[in-house]
Amino acid sequence: MSYRLLATMIVLGAIAACLPGQSASARSKPAAKAVPRTPDGHPDLQGVWTNATITPLERPPEFSGKPTVTDAEAKAYEAKDHEVNTLDSDVTSNFNRRTGGPGVGAYNNLFVDRGSELARVDGVKRTSLIIDPPDGRIPRAAAGARSVPGPGRQGGGGQGEQYAGVSYDSVKNRPLSERCLIGFGSTSGPPMLPVLYNNNYEIVQTPETVMILVEMVHDVRVIRMNAQHLPKSVHKWLGDSVGHWEGDTLVVETTNFNPENRFRGSSENLKVIERFKRVDARTILYRATIEDPAAYTKPWTLEYPFNATAGPVYEYACHEGNYSMTDILGGTRKQEAAASK
C-alpha cells in the first residue's frame, strides 16, 4: 500500500468520526436487534405472553404525584404487597378476608399467578396502569352502573363486572364470570387487564385476522383486519374488534359490546382503542384508551408490557366440579325462608 493511499484513508476516517449527530458512545453501541416480522413485513406478535403485574389499575394514595418510582422504592412496595396479600398467611390477612382465604379452603399461592413486581416501561417501574389522566385515576362521571365484585385482583384494586341486573334470584342474573361466560376483571377485555391468575395470552396472526386466545375461561378474541364494524344492533360479549397497522403498531378499535358486559361503569357507547407495539424480542408494549362520554368525563389511557413466557396456555375448566353456584343460590333461598318465618 502506498503512503499516499494510507494517508487518504486516515483522513477519510477522521472526517467520518467528526460527522455531526454521532458521538463516540453512540457509535460504540451495538445496533438494536430488529423485532421479528411476518412474511408480509409487519412485526410478528405471535407467541405466548403474560401481563401479570402487581401494578394497580389506579395509582395508590401513597404514590400520589409519582407516576414512576426508583428500583429501591419499587422493591419496598413489592415486599410490602407480598406480605399483605400473600395467600398462605393467616386467614385474617387483608387478602384472605376478601376471598375467604386458606382457612376455608379457598385460594393459596400455588393457585395464583398475579406477578410479584410493578410493571416496568422505558426502564422504570410504574405506580399505576393508568398513564392518562396524569393523576393515574379513572375520570368517572357522576352516574354509572355499579361495580360487581369479582374473585380477581387487578394490582391492588378491586374489580368486577359492570352489570346493574346482578341478583341472587336466578343463575341468569349472577355475574358473567360466575356463569363461565367470560373471564372476570376484564382479563379478556378489551382492555385486557391483569387479574389474580391465568394471565397468559396466545396470539396467532395472519394478514386478515389476529386471534388472541385468553387462558382465563378460554375466551377467544378475533380481530378482523382492515374491515368495517358490524351493525350497531349486533352485540358481542367482547365487542367487535377491527384492526389496522399504523407503521409498526397494530391498532384495534372495539365497539358493539354486549349490554351485560359493563366495563367499569361503561354504557352502550363504550369504545376501546388498543395499540400493540413489539418493542423487542420479548416485549409487546400494550396501550388502551377507553372512551365513553356517558361514564367518564374524558377518555383515559392504560399502558403496560406483555412479556414473553414459555407457556403453554392451559385449558381453563370453569364449571367442572364447581358447586359454588348451587351453594350461593341455595344459601340465599335458605336465608329468605328463615326471614319469612
Number of H helices, E strands in the chain: 5, 15
Given a contact cutoff of 8 angstroms between Cβ atoms, the answer to whether 252 and 274 are in contact is yes
Q: In angstroms, rounded to a whole number, what is the distance separating the alpha carbons of residues 165 and 188? A: 21
Q: How confident is the model at residue 261 (pLDDT cuts 50, 70, 90)?
A: confident
The predicted pLDDT at position 90 comes to 54
The predicted pLDDT at position 70 comes to 96
Given a contact cutoff of 8 angstroms between Cβ atoms, the answer to whether 253 and 228 are in contact is no
The stretch 304-324 carries a mean pLDDT of 86
Check pLDDT > 60 for residue 8. no
The predicted pLDDT at position 311 comes to 82
Check pLDDT > 70 for residue 138. yes
Residues facing 240 on adjacent strands: 255
Task: Report the predicted TM-score, pTM, of the whole model to 2 decimal places.
Answer: 0.80
The predicted pLDDT at position 324 comes to 77
Q: How confident is the model at residue 12 (pLDDT cuts 50, 70, 90)?
A: very low
Residues facing 103 on adjacent strands: none
Q: Which residues contact 191 (CB under 8 A, 6 or more apart)?
A: 263, 272, 274, 288, 290, 302
The stretch 158-185 carries a mean pLDDT of 72
Q: Which of 172, 176, 142 is CA-nearest to residue 162?
A: 176
The predicted pLDDT at position 16 comes to 44
Share of the chain above pLDDT 70, in %: 75
Q: In angstroms, rounded to a whole number, what is the distance separating the alpha carbons of residues 126 and 120? A: 6
Q: Per the structure block, which three cell numbers stand in for 159?
A: 374489580
Mean of the per-residue pLDDT values of the chain? 82
Most confident of 102-106, 181-185, 276-280: 276-280
The predicted pLDDT at position 148 comes to 39
What b/e string do you get for 253-291 counting C-beta neighbours within 10 Å, with b at 16 or more?
bbbbbbebbbbbbbbeebbbbbbbbbeeeebbbbbbbbb
Determine which of 7-11, 55-59, 177-181, 270-274 has the lowest per-residue pLDDT on average: 7-11
Amino acid at site 55: T
Residue predicted with more confidence, 138 or 2? 138
Q: How confident is the model at residue 101 (pLDDT cuts 50, 70, 90)?
A: low
Q: Which of 269, 272, 274 is CA-nearest to residue 292?
A: 269
DSSP 66-79: -SEE-HHHHHHHHH
Q: Per the structure block, which three cell numbers stand in for 149?
A: 365484585
List of E strands, 226-338: 240-246, 249-255, 271-280, 283-291, 300-308
Check pLDDT > 90 for residue 33. no
The stretch 181-190 carries a mean pLDDT of 90
Residues in the chain: 341
Residue predicted with more confidence, 27 or 224? 224
Residue predicted with more confidence, 29 or 232? 232
